[in-house]
Amino acid sequence: MPSLISHPDDVNIELREGETLLEAAIRAQLPLAHVCGGKGRCSTCRVWVLDGLDSCPQRNEREQGLAEQLSLDRNIRLACQLRPNANLEFRRLVLDETDMVMTNQIARDQHNKAGELKDVAVFFSDIIGFTPLSENLLPYDVMYLLNRYFAQTGEVIEANFGYIDKFVGDGMMAIFGIDGRQDSPIRAVNAGLQCLAVVDRMKPFIKTMYDIDFEVRIGVHWGEAVIGSVGSPGNEKLTAIGDVVNVASRVESANKEAGTRFLITEALHEKVKDQVEISDFVRMKLPGTSQRSTLYEIKGLSKDVAVQLNSTTEKDTIRYAGRNWSRLIATADMSDGDRRIFEFPDFDLAVLRRKGRFFAFNNAGPHVNLPFFNRCHNIEKPEKLRPDESETVGDEVTCRWHNSRFDLATGEVVRWCEALSGDGTSEGMEQLGDISKNRTPLRLFPTRVEDGLLWVTFDS
């Protein structure tokens, strides 16, 4: 039988046929955490496979779903789902109560993102001469100016699919490429140019209000970083760690010596050289380094790229408040009381308009995934679909299949599966067993209205 070796315990376990790694560990009295009881609903039983990974079976559907949600490296496996079929060496990753809190997805809604290496563009901006500038303003005016500046530049970052890592005083750090987009390098450059355009638009206003010459400097570098969640449990924040961050910060500072506003490194220039216009380049030692680096001053984007990235034509998707939004319909096309079904690759979306409010939710009941509403009323063979429809009264929807009722504002279950047999089975679907145990809230999706259009986001 296969042999399992656990580190740092140095315990050897003989695996029995069909056992999961967790079951074998429990039998051997190995203290392997499993907060959810080994049901694949948390990652506290995670282990790092040191040897034998290639012989391990592929992740099952439950483990794969959690691995994608938490961005787990391929070497990290869930002991409750892994059934080894060959010798294996592994390291327990939850060793004490602190580890337990950090990895327990049951105890809180926010999930950690395990560290992973990614090629990213790191963006730094800083207001020139902010310290003396702030000394001449009232504290309220300082905060007003900063918030006005960050509100507008923050929208620019997010519109270019960047992630705002932090604001430090008058400085901002953003990361492009966390989501693996291929156009992240040029998006970072585009964001820099658009931030400078924001500053240029603000200058007359700030000059009039405070008699201040307002200016910023921007530096961007492309390289490999560790992307992960850092912070105390419940207060984690996604960030980038690595030399790419230090270099980007120094490039921003190098603008002062070079007399420029926007510099990028040679590594980033190599990615975007056919898409940008360069004003000049400089050779200089970055602060804190001994070697000279080539930095490029960005003038603008090439004409075709500018049109491609910044077209003002109506888009099917937009970026807003850190989320991706999909355009659904003009609000004028839905009267109060109307219902529409929109087809997406993974599911159908039901949208209701009630008293001026829009409610969007998965058109599949959470008990057995049967549709609340038919896709179309004018079908060739209506007898193949259940003719009646689910009912909506006020802010609640009642499922036509098992008489479950849900709150459309919160998704909470108001009434659960009243139309079931005594044993919890559904007439005609007895093969599904007792479905009364599958009590799950309705899956809702946020909507927003802008310029007469209804948008929905599927981002959590």
**In contact, 165 and 240? CB cutoff 8 Å:** yes
Q: What is the largest CA-CA distance in the chain?
A: 80
Establish if 138 belongs to a structural domain.
yes
Q: What is the pLDDT of residues 39-57, one digit of tens each?
A: 887 788 889 899 999 999 9
| pLDDT band per the 50, 70, 90 thresholds, residue 438 | confident
Instruction: Show which of 261, 280, 310 is a domain's final residue.
Output: 310
Establish if 109 belongs to a structural domain.
no
Establish if 45 belongs to a structural domain.
yes
More confident: 421 or 219:
219
Mean pLDDT is lowest, of 63-67, 84-88, 154-158, 321-325, for: 321-325
Question: What is the SS3 assignment for 13?
Answer: strand
Q: 340 and 278 share a domain?
A: no
User: What per-residue confidence (pLDDT) applies to 234?
Assistant: 59
- CATH number assigned to the domain comprising residue 446: 2.102.10.10
Instruction: Show which of 292, 310, 328 is a domain's final residue.
Output: 310
Establish if 383 belongs to a structural domain.
yes
User: Kind and range of the H or E element at 218?
Assistant: strand 216-230
Question: What is the SS3 assignment for 157?
Answer: helix
Mean pLDDT of the chain, nearest integer: 84
- CATH number assigned to the domain comprising residue 128: 3.30.70.1230
User: What per-residue confidence (pLDDT) applies to 276?
Assistant: 95
Instruction: Show which of 310, 337, 358 is a domain's final residue.
Output: 310
Q: 21 and 152 share a domain?
A: no
Q: 218 and 137 share a domain?
A: yes
Q: 70 and 147 share a domain?
A: no
Q: State the CB neighbour count (10 A cutoff) for residue 193.
A: 21
> Can you tell me the mean pLDDT for 237-248?
90
Q: 432 and 354 share a domain?
A: yes
Q: 179 and 249 share a domain?
A: yes
How many domains are contained in the chain? Answer: 3
Parent domain of 212: 116-310
User: What per-residue confidence (pLDDT) applies to 106?
Assistant: 45
- CATH number assigned to the domain comprising residue 27: 3.10.20.30
User: What per-residue confidence (pLDDT) applies to 384?
Assistant: 42
- 459, amino acid identity: D
Q: State the CB neighbour count (10 A cutoff) for residue 134.
A: 18
User: What per-residue confidence (pLDDT) applies to 110?
Assistant: 43
448: left (phi over 0), alpha (psi -120 to 50) or beta: beta
Residue 223 corresponds to which tokens in the numbers above? Answer: 């390289």
More confident: 140 or 53:
53
User: Kind and range of the H or E element at 202?
Assistant: helix 184-210
pLDDT surpasses 50 at 187: yes
- The CA dihedral of 282, 283, 284, 285, to the nearest 10 degrees, is 140
User: What per-residue confidence (pLDDT) applies to 133?
Assistant: 79
Q: 94 and 136 share a domain?
A: no
pLDDT surpasses 70 at 96: no
pLDDT surpasses 90 at 223: yes
Establish if 132 belongs to a structural domain.
yes
Nearest-angstrom CA–CA distance, 196 and 155: 13
> Can you tell me the mean pLDDT for 405-425?
84
Q: Is the Cα torsion angle 300, 303, 304, 306 positive or negative in sign?
A: positive
User: What per-residue confidence (pLDDT) applies to 333?
Assistant: 86
Mean pLDDT is lowest, of 175-184, 216-225, 399-408, for: 399-408
User: What per-residue confidence (pLDDT) applies to 208?
Assistant: 76
User: What per-residue confidence (pLDDT) applies to 430?
Assistant: 66
Nearest-angstrom CA–CA distance, 343 and 363: 10
Question: What is the SS3 assignment for 248?
Answer: helix
| pLDDT band per the 50, 70, 90 thresholds, residue 14 | very high
Q: 69 and 127 share a domain?
A: no
User: What per-residue confidence (pLDDT) applies to 320?
Assistant: 77
Q: 380 and 415 share a domain?
A: yes
> What are the helix (H) ranges across 48-177?
61-70, 97-103, 130-135, 139-159
| pLDDT band per the 50, 70, 90 thresholds, residue 212 | confident
Establish if 110 belongs to a structural domain.
no
Most confident option among 71-80, 98-107, 294-303: 294-303
Q: 191 and 162 share a domain?
A: yes
User: What per-residue confidence (pLDDT) applies to 84?
Assistant: 94
Q: 185 and 304 share a domain?
A: yes
| pLDDT band per the 50, 70, 90 thresholds, residue 376 | low
Crossing angle of helices 184-210 and 303-310, in 10° steps, is 80
User: What per-residue confidence (pLDDT) applies to 101?
Assistant: 55
Mean pLDDT is lowest, of 100-114, 209-223, 335-349, for: 100-114
Percentage above 70 pLDDT, the chain: 87
Establish if 452 belongs to a structural domain.
yes
User: What per-residue confidence (pLDDT) applies to 35?
Assistant: 75
Establish if 108 belongs to a structural domain.
no
Nearest-angstrom CA–CA distance, 376 and 341: 8
Strands 396-398 and 405-407: antiparallel
> Can you tell me the mean pLDDT for 441-448?
91
User: What per-residue confidence (pLDDT) applies to 109?
Assistant: 42
User: What per-residue confidence (pLDDT) applies to 43?
Assistant: 80
All residues at 6 or more sequence positions from 306 whose CB lies less than 8 Å from its CB, including other chains: 300
Nearest-angstrom CA–CA distance, 172 and 139: 20
Q: 81 and 124 share a domain?
A: no
pLDDT surpasses 70 at 112: no
Q: What is the pLDDT of residues 289-317, one digit of tens each?
A: 777 889 999 999 998 898 888 865 556 78
Nearest-angstrom CA–CA distance, 386 and 140: 62
Residue 115 corresponds to which tokens in the numbers above? Answer: 């560290």
